[in-house]
A and B are shown apart, each in its own frame.
Chain A
């Protein structure tokens, strides 16, 4: 099932569903990278609140999204990593490196607003 991506102003918001497959996540990467150019988006929010597992593939894809989107000139923030997912990632020794995270959608938008303001201010 295709992961929906919504355009909200300068941002793209992707909400990963509970039963996302590896192929769905791979398609999302391609879609976000394409649409950042199409809409001249400045920020991407990936919401993983309902994703049922945060395994090694999902963690790698989130990193790939953030790194690739950055190369396209936009910022990414991952929101909604649930307590169980955080515990699993720590147990596995998985990190998101320097990928930005925020508690929820609201905090994610606030993070992007701050980051863009700083970029434009300098």
Chain B
């Protein structure tokens, strides 16, 4: 797999495609144990958010990271949906505006090492999340930028 893949997200099957590509990249980079499934599941959650909440107007870019000898995966999800008015609420576990478990965004954050979300009402939402190969899983950073 090349260093970067870009997957337009508009419908259900795109969610599957994105999660499969993330898993394949994680496996090819030597991610161990459950990490490939963690990456795939986090991608599934944020891709579904684009379909359900952003009217299927978005994309996910999955790229390989090489930084100071570390190898990782960066997932960037952008949409031109309505944006999220209250990000802190959206990041709360159990909060849902639709019939779901309310684990989408907070779940993705738990599964990855780094998670950043930026959203502007009326413009859209951007999420960047990363996971590193090997044991950096205890680091869990969140940046919230209110627009």
Q: Which residues of A contact B (CB under 8 A)?
A: 19-23, 52-57, 59-60, 83-85, 87-88, 91-94
Contacts A53-B40, A55-B45 given: A84-B107 contact, CB under 8 Å?
A: no
Which residues of A sit under 8 angstroms from B102, Cβ to Cβ?
Answer: 56
Q: A52-B37, A84-B34, A84-B37 are in contact. List 10 more A-B contacts (CB 8 A).
A: A55-B41, A56-B103, A60-B100, A84-B33, A88-B38, A88-B41, A88-B111, A91-B38, A92-B107, A94-B107
**30 A-B pairs with C-beta separation under 8 A:** A20-B16, A21-B13, A21-B15, A22-B15, A52-B20, A53-B40, A53-B41, A55-B44, A55-B45, A55-B107, A56-B100, A56-B107, A57-B48, A59-B101, A60-B100, A60-B101, A83-B34, A84-B37, A87-B33, A87-B37, A88-B38, A88-B111, A91-B38, A92-B41, A92-B103, A92-B110, A93-B103, A94-B101, A94-B103, A94-B107
Q: How far is the CA of A56 from the CA of B99 in the complex (A)?
A: 11
Residues of B near A88 (CB, < 8 A) are: 34, 37-38, 41, 111
CA distance A94 to B111 in the complex (A): 13
Asked whether, in the complex, the Cβ of B93 is within 8 Å of the Cβ of A93, the reply is yes
Interchain nearest-CB distance for B96 vs A (Å): 9
Contact B16 A19 (CB under 8 A): yes
Residues of B within 8 A of A (CB): 12-13, 15-16, 19-20, 23, 33-34, 36-38, 40-41, 44-45, 48, 93, 100-104, 107, 110-111
CB nearest to A86 among chain B residues: B34
Which residues on B sit within 8 Å (CB–CB) of A83?
34
CB A54 to nearest CB in B, in angstroms, measures: 7
B47 vs chain A, min Cβ distance (A): 10
CB–CB B100/A87 < 8 A: no
Checking B40, B103, B107 against A52 with a beta-carbon cut-off of 8 angstroms, the contacting residue is B40
A85 B37 Cβ-Cβ under 8 A: yes
Q: Which residues of B contact A85 (CB under 8 A)?
A: 37
Residues on B with C-beta less than 8 A from A84 are 33-34, 36-37
